Amino acid sequence: MTSKQGLKIAVIGGGSSYTPELVEGFILHHRELPVRELWLVDIEPGLRKLNIVGSLAKRMVEKSGLPIEVHLTTDRRKAIEGADFVSTQMRVGMLDARGRDESIPLKYGVIGQETTGPGGMMKALRTIPVLLDICRDMEELAPNAWLLNFTNPAGMVTEAILKYSNVRSIGLCNAPIGLIKQTSAKYQVAPDRVYAEFVGLNHLHWVTRVDVEGEDKLDELLADTAGYSASNVPAREWNPEFLQSLRALPSYYLKYFYMTDAMLEEQLESFHQGINRAEVVKRVEEELFELYSDPDLKEKPKQLEQRGGAFYSEAAVNLMRSLYNGTNDIQTLNVANRGTLPFLPEDASIEVNCVVTNNGPLPLPVTRIPRMAVGLIQAVKTYEQLAIDAAVTGDRGLAIQALAHHPLVPSVEVAIKMLDEMLEANKEYLPQFFGKTPAHP
Amino acid sequence: MTSKQGLKIAVIGGGSSYTPELVEGFILHHRELPVRELWLVDIEPGLRKLNIVGSLAKRMVEKSGLPIEVHLTTDRRKAIEGADFVSTQMRVGMLDARGRDESIPLKYGVIGQETTGPGGMMKALRTIPVLLDICRDMEELAPNAWLLNFTNPAGMVTEAILKYSNVRSIGLCNAPIGLIKQTSAKYQVAPDRVYAEFVGLNHLHWVTRVDVEGEDKLDELLADTAGYSASNVPAREWNPEFLQSLRALPSYYLKYFYMTDAMLEEQLESFHQGINRAEVVKRVEEELFELYSDPDLKEKPKQLEQRGGAFYSEAAVNLMRSLYNGTNDIQTLNVANRGTLPFLPEDASIEVNCVVTNNGPLPLPVTRIPRMAVGLIQAVKTYEQLAIDAAVTGDRGLAIQALAHHPLVPSVEVAIKMLDEMLEANKEYLPQFFGKTPAHP
Amino acid sequence: MTSKQGLKIAVIGGGSSYTPELVEGFILHHRELPVRELWLVDIEPGLRKLNIVGSLAKRMVEKSGLPIEVHLTTDRRKAIEGADFVSTQMRVGMLDARGRDESIPLKYGVIGQETTGPGGMMKALRTIPVLLDICRDMEELAPNAWLLNFTNPAGMVTEAILKYSNVRSIGLCNAPIGLIKQTSAKYQVAPDRVYAEFVGLNHLHWVTRVDVEGEDKLDELLADTAGYSASNVPAREWNPEFLQSLRALPSYYLKYFYMTDAMLEEQLESFHQGINRAEVVKRVEEELFELYSDPDLKEKPKQLEQRGGAFYSEAAVNLMRSLYNGTNDIQTLNVANRGTLPFLPEDASIEVNCVVTNNGPLPLPVTRIPRMAVGLIQAVKTYEQLAIDAAVTGDRGLAIQALAHHPLVPSVEVAIKMLDEMLEANKEYLPQFFGKTPAHP
Amino acid sequence: MTSKQGLKIAVIGGGSSYTPELVEGFILHHRELPVRELWLVDIEPGLRKLNIVGSLAKRMVEKSGLPIEVHLTTDRRKAIEGADFVSTQMRVGMLDARGRDESIPLKYGVIGQETTGPGGMMKALRTIPVLLDICRDMEELAPNAWLLNFTNPAGMVTEAILKYSNVRSIGLCNAPIGLIKQTSAKYQVAPDRVYAEFVGLNHLHWVTRVDVEGEDKLDELLADTAGYSASNVPAREWNPEFLQSLRALPSYYLKYFYMTDAMLEEQLESFHQGINRAEVVKRVEEELFELYSDPDLKEKPKQLEQRGGAFYSEAAVNLMRSLYNGTNDIQTLNVANRGTLPFLPEDASIEVNCVVTNNGPLPLPVTRIPRMAVGLIQAVKTYEQLAIDAAVTGDRGLAIQALAHHPLVPSVEVAIKMLDEMLEANKEYLPQFFGKTPAHP
């Protein structure tokens, strides 16, 4: 970090409804993170939203009186050029694609979820080539910048970047910070008095240690069968005997693996009732943009906090601050394994605690790997590796192997049939599978 | 091997219908494996069968004119004392227990199989303590003997012995030798002109290379969707696209994982038709013992070869010969991992090619690990490790974790309910789970 | 750390001349490290010094007005009982033994040094059994205490404790903090604005990165052939071409390996001139104790800072504070390797940067292992492992192997002759080698 | 191996005095290794010798009546084109360069030896670029051929090829086969009844197990302080106490490390007496070529067996036979580590027992790593890696680091001075260090 006169930040997918939170973060922490230029980039079809959210951003900055320039653009390369940080928050295929990711698997009796299982794989196939395209730009125009990736499936996207580009990249999820906040609220202490050890992959972690003011609270937390949770995954109680013998708090995403039958039943029920999470989110978004359009609004509206992605922007600003200042504090990030989990490949992305130095994050050794979790971590990582390579090469055989080896898919036959339907449905976004050079948004 | 005047061999479960094949092997290979004493041991309830098969063994030896003494006994310690090789082939709970292993999981919509899934776990819980008890005797009475273990689940039993005893032990399965024979028949060459590389666990391996007379035949074999097979697993065709992109021949046991839905359907159908494989085997066995009882029979009857366990005894005699003579030939065995598959623990049992030195088998480096297989291998190994420890400790929490993490079990709730029923049904053979010191048959 | 009403600290070798510095640290940092009881322990022959330094400690505490009780005792068990921290600073055989460690090797044309080479090995043979004896007491009387070990050779002692006891132990050296201080002085910045990455073993490390206020200064520092240094190792310039191609700052102890011929020549010269570092230190110590005896002295005298062991106590107090508060800051410590340097055994002690959590230090991944250093690190570690086992078992064969494989020893013959003389000279302190159960001071 | 009508073999350095032994091997084993074309290649200055030895080879073949064509050429590419096996036996700079390798280090008080220490490094710097040049030809003209490398330092050359080319290569040394022969003579058994386990690097191995007819003879062999030996390294007795506690037979090359002082003294004495091993070898060679010139000689002369390189050709023919037939027998070879010695890099060359399959050698797991040896192995490997990279890049800094870190070099200053003299003396053969593109013979 040598930008002495202030930082340039490019936000790809800047028209997102989350952007005001990010802007608020830049304003609040301007002293430690002196942003000079903030570039909000989006694609042509997102121009309306970019303008709404961009105007709000400008009003927020103006009110703050800080010397931050806000730029709105559809020229990604211009935004990236010379940036210190690039962050990405995008949805290739938008909410319609998400709807398909969630519904097609259900027809085959398989969990339909945005980031987990077949739905997550389709998202990866659509998203990874776009992210790598951004990396090509960064290698050329901002070779020393950090790419902070929020785009899901964040673990797979991060691993793809580690393997197929030279960009320095870190994957971020709001779940770890969510657990810290939830625990700090429960015990009425400041978040920095809670220390939790995370072990696993993105959306597939186990928490093996929770200290509150230096005292081990794992046993207490294991006694609470509600577990830790978030609004975007249905709440279901954990079996107490299971939780006790597991000796770790499972991520709420693990419900798709540990309660597959019940979660599937619930999804099918919603599906038959015509409930579609993607549609719900669409409506919430529309309401937010209506709010944002109010020319008198000059701050982040409260309603934003109720969305699933809470704390995303807080996590992002925290990370930028630590990288910029070399604070050597501990954050939970998606980074290259490099021996931290010795059973996984060196270049696998994992989600663990890291010390954030000004030379990048260093993963801390995990003090205990929950032995029960090893098989599932490896099984999902195998799927992830195959899916990443399928996304990059467009190799149908790899895609079959990825899906057939996913723990939630019951057989090779189902994998192949489901894949055929999903590829067809996503044809527009998967040029690599249809004999074309990828054309990105 | 210092037994200069001939070897002492103890066969635990000597009343098995397979014994005549083993005796035939000892007779045919007496020059390279000079057996002097053959002790057939069985438990009290097996005495009738022991006497029938033992008398046949004596008639076979007599006909051969070789100086082999055949001893029949229920005194296991006497048989083990000073032995050079101990082999085990047993079924704790006998065929009735197998029947339950195969049927109870079906009630929960889960594969019911003798060695794979919940059925295999129950077999492990019943069998491991008995095997460790034999090891205690060996440590005391025959500390330099080799234990050749055929008792299923052979991989788990071998790993339990590696971890919980000082006995030198090797696990054996007939599947690898079966592939060699099948390929040698297909190409009309001698078996020793076929070289196949096996990677994985017992009943969970992939064949990544098949050379016939030095020529790579993998592609040809991958084109055959019947795959390699055996009479004890239902025949089903592999999907050709899947097989091609897998780049390895899957063990026929892998059908339970790759074709779970179809295999389950077939099992349920059989079950509802009242077909019970354990009962079928029982009848076959009765017929064999009737044959064996004929005082004029002085050789292994042809009918024996039609049973599922073909080549078991051939594998055993081969292994004893190589250990005794230090032939340094290559056999596929279940041994401690020690870094061969770097993602698995050092002390995990694996099924791979080994050079058999007179100091024991040394696993060969695998030239290619099929990346698709890594996740499934780890997932099953995680289950195996938990189940082994559950078998040794009688810890219900470990048993829950083992079952809940088995890839064929759909949820924690199903795992716990199924476990409850299976523990109850096996109560007689699971003292470690019911507050008693294990009392072994 | 659950001692809510204040901490109990036991200092073994409390009569050391360094103790006032430690006491000063406890006084200055009492708010973050609320010491309630400070036990200074020493052996009978050290009673006079213990009383002198203990009285000074009491005067210092009294002046501070803090509620710290200072206890002086020769009853080690009483001091250890219920302690939160135990620190050790001792010299088995006192300065006379050091004199022999430094002079005997010279007769054989080998470097004579207190912690490096044959001298260091003799120190280890004398010291390790005593430390393990202290650990036995701790296991019984203070099982949750941390043992902070300053006793040289600190790396080997720490490894012996890791391997042969259950005590939680950390080894400490003043060299790393010395580099930080030296760099902070050079660049006129606060020490916490200097970040250096250390890789290697105790007294055998390389510094691969030095950031000053976030800027990489390695190149600048490599241009300075004086290197980083300390008063207890003779100053010699590094060859500039060597330093440039090494790409790391070598510890000043590495001069014994990289400049063996010149360092040896210098030692021989001093030896023939009758200069004896041990005698020099003796005199310095006597002067210090004279100062300490002054009943009007109520603070640490300035003269103490001129001794070689500068910053030792600062390092100790820093570490206790971080462990007690779980500050998660980074310190350079001697801890178990656990994969950090993948070429070394898991249980080897290494000297690297660690995050100090309230559950103990976690070693940070090293961002670059200087490839030139790998062989020397391994060679010295091999010697260390053999010497540790020799110290514990009294096995002469292991002692021969240790010395014969030390990089500074020219041949097996020299190793054996030198060992014979050194064992004889240290007979009194090496009961394990002379057929007696160790009797400790 | 698909050459159905017979094999083509190219011998680079075919004018060597060893060639008749190789030709004898091809004749004796023609049934299992059907050589059709034997190409002896040499450089222009070696043409006289090539013609002499080539004519003898032709007479030997003629006498055998076998259908082997012998070709003599200086056109290396023609010889390599379509070859099945390429073997190399060469001496870049010839015996004069060897004389310098052996004498220059002595001036600095350092061991002067052909393959060990500074002399070995100079040989590596001269030889590696030439071998890589041969590899370039093979990649183009014989991509499936095996390169059997006898050229010293064989371990380093093999590692250079592994790292910097795609050629399938194996390094060979006669020391392991020498131990087998020596032991088989001692115990009067056939060589194939001796099994020895080798651990280490080329010219730096330890023998950890010797079985004769299945019986462990290590203890007996350790009692013999003469050790195992060869004519090219001076005989010196091992210290019996050292040998006992080492628990392994050290290679005779290890005398340069374990008896450095005495070996150096002996070398200096010979040097001052004007004895020059290179000159001795020159004379022996001249005598051999005189013998070879005799048109009546039609077989390998007995005198050849007295040279140091005994069994080289036997080792070569054995290896070709096993590769060609896929015999799966065990040979001691220099191959890529791939985890066999876990403390060394994956791509380091090591000398261990391998199973020779028709797909290449697979290193066997070592059953015991002598812990004493680990440091020295790593130290020499560090030097080797640096020297290899210096040879390829011509980077003087790397050469300094390599030499300064060699265990036989006493200091950085000596390393740099000695390097300067040696580079200058080898200028003609080291274009990479003198600003020129390498021009190879």
For the stretch C58-111, pLDDT in tens is 999 999 999 999 999 999 999 999 999 999 989 999 889 999 999 999 999 999
- Containing A249, the helix (H) or strand (E) segment is strand A249-250
Model confidence at A225, pLDDT cuts 50, 70, 90, reads confident
Q: Please tell me the pTM assigned to this model.
A: 0.94
CA atoms within 13 A on the CB side of C142: 28
Residue type, B405: H
For the stretch A344-362, pLDDT in tens is 999 999 999 999 998 899 9
CA atoms within 13 A on the CB side of D153: 35
Asked if D128 is an interface residue toward chain C (Cβ–Cβ < 8 A), one would say no
Give percent of chain C above pLDDT 70: 96
Best mutation target among D163, D378, D385, D393 (most C Cβ atoms within 10 Å) is D378
Domains and CATH numbers, chain B: 7-171 (3.40.50.720)
Predicted ipTM of the assembly: 0.94
End-to-end CA distance of chain A: give it in Å, rounded: 30
- Show the tokens assigned to A118: 């077949």
For residue D246, which residues of chain C lie inside 8 Å, CB to CB? 401
Average pLDDT (B117-132) is 98
Asked if C416 is an interface residue toward chain A (Cβ–Cβ < 8 A), one would say no
User: What number of C-beta contacts closer than 8 Å exist between A and B?
Assistant: 125
Best mutation target among B146, B192, B194, B328 (most D Cβ atoms within 10 Å) is B328
The C-alpha angle B199, B205, B206, rounded to 5 degrees, equals 70
> Is the CB of A365 less than 8 angstroms away from the CB of C362?
yes
**Rounded to whole angstroms, how far apart are CA atoms D51 and D43?**
12
- Containing A330, the helix (H) or strand (E) segment is strand A329-336
Cα→Cα distances C213→A356, B38, C134, C210, Å = 15, 79, 42, 10
B108 is catalytic: no
User: What number of C-beta contacts closer than 8 Å exist between A and C?
Assistant: 55
Asked if D383 is an interface residue toward chain C (Cβ–Cβ < 8 A), one would say yes
Structural Rg of chain A based on CA atoms: 21
**Rounded to whole angstroms, how far apart are CA atoms B154 and B160?**
10
- The residues with which D406 forms a beta bridge, in sequence order, are none
Asked if B338 is an interface residue toward chain D (Cβ–Cβ < 8 A), one would say yes
Q: B-contacting residues of D 356-375, CB under 8 Å? A: 357-359, 362-365, 367
Q: Cis omega (within 30 of 0) on the bond before D153?
A: yes
Q: Which of B269-273, C27-31, D331-335 has the lowest mean pLDDT?
A: B269-273
| Chain B residue closest in CA terms to A255 | B411
Contact D129, D392 (CB under 8 A): yes
DSSP-derived secondary structure letter, C337: -
Residue B23: alpha-carbon gap to chain centroid: 19
Best mutation target among D204, D372, D381 (most C Cβ atoms within 10 Å) is D372
| Chain D residue closest in CA terms to B326 | D214
Catalytic-labelled residue, pool B253, B256, B292, B429? B253
Give Dmax over CA atoms of chain A in angstroms.
Answer: 61
For residue C383, which residues of chain D lie inside 8 Å, CB to CB? 375
Q: Is the pLDDT of residue C439 over 50?
A: no
Q: D-contacting residues of B 175-204, CB under 8 Å? A: 195
Asked if A328 is an interface residue toward chain C (Cβ–Cβ < 8 A), one would say yes
Reference B52, options B291, B221, B280, B260; nearest CA is: B291
Contact B357, B132 (CB under 8 A): no
| Chain D residue closest in CA terms to B342 | D339
For residue D398, which residues of chain C lie inside 8 Å, CB to CB? 245
Binding residues of D for Mn(2+): 173, 203
**Rounded to whole angstroms, how far apart are CA atoms D91 and D315?**
19
Asked if B239 is an interface residue toward chain A (Cβ–Cβ < 8 A), one would say yes
Torsion of CA C405, C406, C410, C415, to 10 degrees: -70
For residue A414, which residues of chain B lie inside 8 Å, CB to CB? 261
For the stretch C245-255, pLDDT in tens is 999 999 999 99
The DSSP-derived string for B257-268 is: HHBHHHHHHHHH
For residue D380, which residues of chain C lie inside 8 Å, CB to CB? 375
Burial B315-329, CB ≥16 within 10 A → b, else e:
bbbbbbbbbbebbbb
Q: Is the pLDDT of residue D21 over 60?
A: yes
Catalytic-labelled residue, pool D18, D108, D164, D253? D253
Which residue's entry shows tokens 């404790």?
A: C161
Q: Annotation-wise, does A236 bind a ligand?
A: no
Phi-psi region of D144 (alpha: psi -120 to 50; beta: other; left: phi over 0): alpha
Angle between helices C118-141 and C412-425 (to 10 degrees): 50
Pairing of strands C360-363, C349-357: antiparallel
Average pLDDT (B271-296) is 87
- Show the tokens assigned to B439: 């009392």
**Would you call D219 exposed, middle or buried from its count of C-beta atoms within 10 A (0-12, 13-18, 19+)?**
exposed
Chains A and B touch (3+ CB pairs under 8 A): yes
Pairing of strands D204-212, D194-201: antiparallel
Model confidence at A226, pLDDT cuts 50, 70, 90, reads confident
- Containing A370, the helix (H) or strand (E) segment is none
For the stretch D241-288, pLDDT in tens is 999 999 999 999 999 999 999 999 999 999 999 877 778 888 888 999
For the stretch C270-318, pLDDT in tens is 999 987 777 888 888 899 999 999 999 998 888 777 665 668 888 999 9
Residue B318: alpha-carbon gap to chain centroid: 15
Asked if D240 is an interface residue toward chain B (Cβ–Cβ < 8 A), one would say no
Q: Is the pLDDT of residue B233 over 80?
A: no
Residue C441: alpha-carbon gap to chain centroid: 20
> Is the CB of D379 less than 8 angstroms away from the CB of C379?
yes
- Look over chain D and give the mean of its residue pLDDT values, rounded to a whole number: 93
Q: Annotation-wise, does A173 bind a ligand?
A: yes
Catalytic-labelled residue, pool C108, C253, C256, C312? C253
Reference A105, options A94, A93, A95, A114; nearest CA is: A114
DSSP-derived secondary structure letter, B355: E
Task: Show which subunits contact D, needing at least 3 CB pairs below 8 angstroms.
Answer: B, C
- Show the tokens assigned to A189: 């202490």
Q: Alpha helix locations (H) across D93-174?
A: 94-107, 118-141, 154-164
Reference C6, options C41, C32, C39, C24; nearest CA is: C32
Reference D345, options D249, D246, D201; nearest CA is: D201
> Is the CB of B330 less than 8 angstroms away from the CB of D355?
yes
Average pLDDT (A402-416) is 97
For residue D379, which residues of chain C lie inside 8 Å, CB to CB? 375-376, 378-379, 407
Cα→Cα distances B309→B172, B177, B178, C345, D29, Å = 11, 11, 10, 44, 42
- Look over chain C and give the mean of its residue pLDDT values, rounded to a whole number: 93
Model confidence at D307, pLDDT cuts 50, 70, 90, reads low
| Dihedral over Cα of D9, D14, D16, D17: its sign | positive
- Show the tokens assigned to A134: 């951004």
Q: Is the pLDDT of residue A2 over 60?
A: no
> Is the CB of B362 less than 8 angstroms away from the CB of D362?
no
